[in-house]
A and B are shown apart, each in its own frame.
Chain A
Amino acid sequence: MSKIRVVHYINQFFAGIGGEEKADYKPEVREGVVGPGMEFNKKFGEEAEIVATIICGDSYFNENIEEAKKTIIEMVKKYNPDLFIAGPAFNAGRYGVACGTITDAVNKELGIPVLTGMYPENPGADMFKKSVYIIETKNSAAGMRKAVKSMAALALKLAKGEKIGTPDEEGYIPRGIRKNYFAEKRGSERAVEMLIKKLKGEEFKTEYPMPDFDRVDPNPPVKDITKAKIALVTSGGIVPKGNPDHIESSSASKYGKYDISQFDDLTPETHETAHGGYDPVYANEDADRVLPVDVLRELEKEGKIGQLHRYFYTTTGNGTSVANAKAFAAEFAKELVADGVDAVILTST
């Protein structure tokens, strides 16, 4: 039997092309394996082989989603693969969105099985866990070996059309699909067993996990913007020059609160970005490109807004856990309320 043909998608970083300065790298296809593909081929053994690797910059993909999808699908098609895999993306947000988008698109357009891998908090996971299999990985490339092991095993099963087990058995992120099966014990018995475990304080496993929707209803609009106090918040890591509080370039453990009352314009002498998840050249040249202090000051002078709030709040959004981000904002939102802020503009990179 001939080997299963696999096409692999990776970003510019894992291809060894470069970091953020190369994130606008356009799709390129290379014969054979590149980067993490080697580990996949090892695990595939005699059964499958990566015949081509597609490389695309994370920013390029996310800023040109439709175009990137089209180009990459054409590239995949040429190799006539039996299977398409992407990543793993760990907790890299743009990479995860790219992996989810492209696996979903290849599956829909070419009808072949697809698979990717990422950390459950990666935004790409929530977006695509229902449509594609996503192996759950650690939040950094330190988890590569384990990720590749689980991905390769599930990939082979998918390519061979074998029966896929539960998320627990295979290691993928639950897709919200229910399958009927015959249980050995009837429902009432299982329910009583679960209840007893719960009463004893033992670990028990629900048969029907509740979906985790965290939605907040929109607040009513600002009535009179010319009287409103507006605050700026950013996940783009803008900080006073020198990053006085040492906010981490990724996986932030804190946020900063800085006075901008003396600034009409942010300049390379006064502000910069601490963010390590995008090319910092443009923000360092002019931080207004991320935190628009200059135009808000202008609008304030013209009386188009009431007032620009004296402080802005900032952190770096890359790799920062949802729990941290939530805690930061829950804390400073109280201050914003206490300071009489009427509306917030939050910018993200």
Chain B
Amino acid sequence: MVKEIERAGIPVVHMCTVVPISLTVGANRIVPTIAIPHPLGNPSLSREEEKALRRSLVERALKALQTEVDGQTVFEE
């Protein structure tokens, strides 16, 4: 799906936990996430901490969308 969206001309960032899969599939902008059943959360944190964590990941995704890349790029912290 990532590739079809990219092919349609829209920049796309893939947020996922298993980065090797994303690389194999062919995503260009990749943000690694927390865990498979809760990529953008962590149930062991408090509600506030969890939301802060989610916000930091989404902000990284937005940064990725604003970054020029010339090939597959993983946006680590």
Interface size on B, residues (CB 8 A): 52
Partner of B66, one of A94, A222, A326: A222
B71 nearest CB neighbor, chain A only: A218
Q: Does B58 contact A (CB under 8 A)?
A: yes
B6 nearest CB neighbor, chain A only: A216
- Which residues does chain B contribute within 8 Å of A65, judged by CB atoms? 20
A219 to B4, CA, bound (A): 12
- Which residues does chain B contribute within 8 Å of A20, judged by CB atoms? 37
A62 to B18, CA, bound (A): 6
Q: Does A73 contact B (CB under 8 A)?
A: no
Which bracket fits the contact residues of A? 35 or more
Give A22 Cβ to nearest chain B Cβ, in Å: 12
- Which residues does chain B contribute within 8 Å of A315, judged by CB atoms? 1
Partner of B58, one of A97, A223, A292: A292
Contact residues of A between 263 and 320, Cβ < 8 Å to B = 278-283, 285-286, 288-292, 294-296, 298-299, 304-305, 315
Q: Does A233 contact B (CB under 8 A)?
A: yes
A286 nearest CB neighbor, chain B only: B41
Partner of A346, one of B15, B20, B59: B15
Contact across chains for B12 and A337 when beta carbons are under 8 A apart: no
A254 to B54, CA, bound (A): 28
A330 to B7, CA, bound (A): 8
A253 to B20, CA, bound (A): 25
A235 to B13, CA, bound (A): 13
B28 nearest CB neighbor, chain A only: A218
Residues of A participating in the B interface, judged by any CB pair closer than 8 Å: 20, 23, 59, 62-63, 65, 93-94, 97, 101, 123, 126-127, 214-223, 225, 228, 230, 233, 235-236, 278-283, 285-286, 288-292, 294-296, 298-299, 304-305, 315, 325-326, 328-330, 333-334, 336-337, 341-349
Residues of B participating in the A interface, judged by any CB pair closer than 8 Å: 1-18, 20-22, 24-26, 28-29, 33, 35-41, 43, 50-51, 54-55, 57-59, 61-62, 65-71, 73
